[in-house]
Structure 1
Amino acid sequence: MIVAKQDIRKLTTDQLKTWLTQHGEQGFRAKQIQEWLWKHSVQSFEGMSNLSLKTRQLLDEHFEIRSLTVAQSQRSSDGTIKSSFKLYDGNLVEGVLIPALRQDDDARMTACVSSQVGCSLTCKFCATGYMERKRNLDPAEIYDQVVAIDRQAKEAYDAPLTNIVYMGMGEPLLNYNGTMESIARITSPDGLGMSAKRITVSTAGIAKMIKKLGDDNVKFNLALSLHAANDVKRNQIMPINESNSLPALADALNYFYRKTGTRVTFEYIVFYNFNDSLQDAKELWQFTKKVPAKINIIEYNPISEASFKNTDPQTLDKFAGFLDDRGVTVNVRRSRGKDIDAACGQLAGKNVPTVGVEP
């Protein structure tokens, strides 16, 4: 009978140490193996060059490294690179490398990573929301996306990643353990050693999990996909709001702020003739009085499943100006990678070519 191999990256260092000693190996090898797995991101035991051939063969007999692979990639006219990542079970998720547009952006290189295969929240404007949620990603699968996109940044732009956003496919707070463990690995000196302040987790708004982030005193940044500052409109486009109303979210976000001292970012997509009026801006301004926050206004990126349109430039300027005049910190974010369906809300495994990254 063939026994399925265990995913070695699911073992803690202590668990691996115990296993090694039970199989006649020296326990200190566990730390070496973990360094190969996380710090050097090896994809095979053969690559663990400071282990004996006997030890490597023993590991290979009992374990596997379920590394993801880059199935396909394509490059936008603005330099954005979208990749389809194949997981060990054949499922696909997408991740995006967003390079700096200008030299004065301090060569910022941002990875947008996924946390689930599909999504269960059915937001009406998001392509992923029209997909079935198949499963959560393991911490190592999220970690591997970061490693792969970092490699792309170095190869394409001769620069490493500087920022990570959990804004790809899925709702990170519905994969709480996977999200938290992946960030722990990414920020660990024994992993990628990135600063938590360079990481942003975006949520559609799960109040109890936002409070849990506060209780866990997280050091990374939190963004809320708001998109409407009254419950009637938000219910229409984000069904999650029916069980996580704006008053509940305001309470949770204030709790998070008191616990962490970190100001939240509101993400607000401006839809033509839906949430782009001065009355909508007024409601958004009033909501910022309840929660210490800054606002990122985001262009809408059309998807075939929905009929929403991006607002016109004049209306957008008036909307942002209303908030700015009242002392709200507002940034207008221009979409990146729209021509390859890599922009915010467009990730759904579509239009990915069958070749490598285009020049």
Structure 2
Amino acid sequence: MSTSKNIRELSLPALEEYFIHIGDKKFRAKQVYEWIWLKGAQSFEAMTNLSKDLRTRLAADFTLPALTIDATQYSADGTVKSRFKTSDGHFVEGVLIPTEERKTACVSSQIGCSLSCKFCATGYMERKRNLNFDEIYDEVVLINQQSEKVYGKKLSNIVFMGMGEPLLNYSNVLKAIERISAEDGLGMSPRRITVSTAGVAKMIKKLGDDKVRFKLALSLHAANDKKRNEIMPINETNNIKALIEALNYFYRQTKNEITLEYILFRNFNDSLKDAEELVKVYRQIPADLINLIEYNPIENAAFAKPDEDTVEQFMHYLDMNKVNARLRRSRGKDIDAACGQLANKN
């Protein structure tokens, strides 16, 4: 591993200082800054408006550990899944989800995951490391380029629902979002960004304290502790009561939109009693919406999705109880790109 500093850790003023220090013009800093944040340069060699000598000097003084696309798969429904390769040889996946109204990037925050949720393919992988803020930013840049190339449109939304638990990589996720929404970054409104968590109560409160401006989604998936413990071990230390309290605190501090995510599993959490328990939890949280998600089968888990009648009855119960709910049909299932399926498979 190189001991040189990652150039993207430098602010624009720090870059200006560097160029003055080496006896070059201050405006070079802006040129380099644009290459690394706006043009998505993956190497110093790509910075063609700099002299060859300067590019060689930059390569000697700094690293530019950019993410590259290792493989791409295209689904019959238009979803595009990419396997990205990090500069130290790890792999991580991201997905472009297109609909008529929006083009959404589903991005990862960790290589693997430490939470072991029983229904999620990433949960069966070992967590190798956190992604750095600039690697997360690269995912968005590369998926945005795909969106422009395939659909002729820029990304409209970003969801942190890929591999890993975003709130266990807190500072890098927040720094990446800051860059994504910065004017000299991608300039995307934080209101178009949703961070999804399996439920780390302490960090949900910290989001409130930090007055973040993006939306929050809680992966609930069971509305009582006994069932949630079974499928999401994190619930043993972050139970539903603690999460309700944390989400209320987050909302008081930020007034940001909160969504509850609920995957339906056959004969596990899809009965009308489960729906009743879900309504009770919903009533205690200032949530805008419950996203009901169809389960996408994975190799290691014995879950199945409910039949259409059961789903309809569940939806009808929520509707009768004035719950704002929608059924989210998964996309990209044929290329293992749907919710819960990301696992770096070949």
Q: 1:325 aligns with which of 301, 304, 320?
A: 320
- Structure 2 counterpart of 1:29, one-letter code: R
2:302 aligned with 1:307: yes
Structure 2 partner of 1:75: 74
| Structure 1 residue 26, shift from structure 2 partner | 3.5
Worse-superposed segment, 110-119 or 29-38: 29-38
Whether the 8 Å contact between 2:108 and 2:160 is mirrored in structure 1 is yes
- Structure 1: distance between partners of 2:246 and 2:30: 39
In the other structure, the counterpart of 2:286 is 292
- AA aligned to 1:149 is I
Are residues 1:255 and 2:249 paired?
yes
- Tell me the CA shift for residue 288 of structure 1: 0.9
CA distance in 2, matches of 1:76, 1:99: 11
Q: Which residue of the partner structure matches residue 356 of structure 1?
A: none
How far did 1:246 drift?
Answer: 0.5
Aligned equivalents of 2:234 and 2:26: distance in 1? 48
Unmatched tracts of structure 2, length 5 or more: none
Aligned pairs for 1:147-296 within 5 A? 147-293=141-287, 294-296=289-291
Counterpart residue number, 2:36? 37
Structure 2 contact 2–63 (Cα < 8 Å) conserved: no
Correspondence for 1:335: 330
Aligned counterparts, 1:37-56, within 5 A: 37-56=36-55
Query: What SS class does the counterpart of residue 212 from structure 1 fall into?
Result: helix
In structure 2, distance between residues paired with 1:40 and 1:348: 29
Q: Distance in 2 between matches of 1:261 and 1:6?
A: 38
| Higher RCO, 1 vs 2 (CA within 8 Å, ≥6 residues apart) | 1
* Structure 2 Cα separation of the partners of residues 126 and 26 of structure 1: 51
CA distance in 2: counterparts of 1:46 and 1:225, whole angstroms: 43
TM-score by length of 1: 0.93
SS of residue in 1 equivalent to 2:50: coil
Instruction: State whether residues 25 and 55 of structure 1, in contact with CA within 8 Å, keep that contact through their aligned partners in structure 2.
Output: no
Once the two structures are TM-superposed, the CA of residue 60 in structure 1 deviates from its matched residue by 1.8
Instruction: Provide the TM-score with structure 2 as the length reference.
Output: 0.96
Equivalent residue of 1:83, what SS?
strand
2: CA distance between counterparts of 1:332 and 1:37? 39
Deviations 1:6-32 (A, max 9, x none): 221122223323333332233443233
Query: 2:21 aligned with 1:22, yes or no?
Result: yes
Q: Name the CA distance, whole Å, in 2 between partners of 1:38 and 1:339.
A: 33
The offset of 1:63, in angstroms, is 1.4
Report the number of matched residues. 345
SS of equivalent residue, structure 1 residue 208: helix
Opposite residue 325 of structure 1, the aligned amino acid is: M
The Cα shift of 1:50 comes to 4.0
Partner Cα separation in structure 2 for residue 305 and residue 44 of structure 1:
39
Matching residue's letter, 1:321:
H
| 2:77–2:332 contact (8 Å) kept in structure 1 | yes
Query: Shift of the alpha carbon at 1:185?
Result: 0.6
Contact 2:219 2:261 in 1 (8 A): yes
- 1:3 is displaced (CA, Å) by 6.2
Gaps of 5+ in 1: 353-359
Residue 9 in 1 paired to residue 8 in 2?
yes
Q: Which amino acid aligns with 1:284?
A: L
Contact 2:42/2:67 (8 A) holds in 1: no
Q: Kindly, what percent of the aligned residue pairs are identical?
A: 59
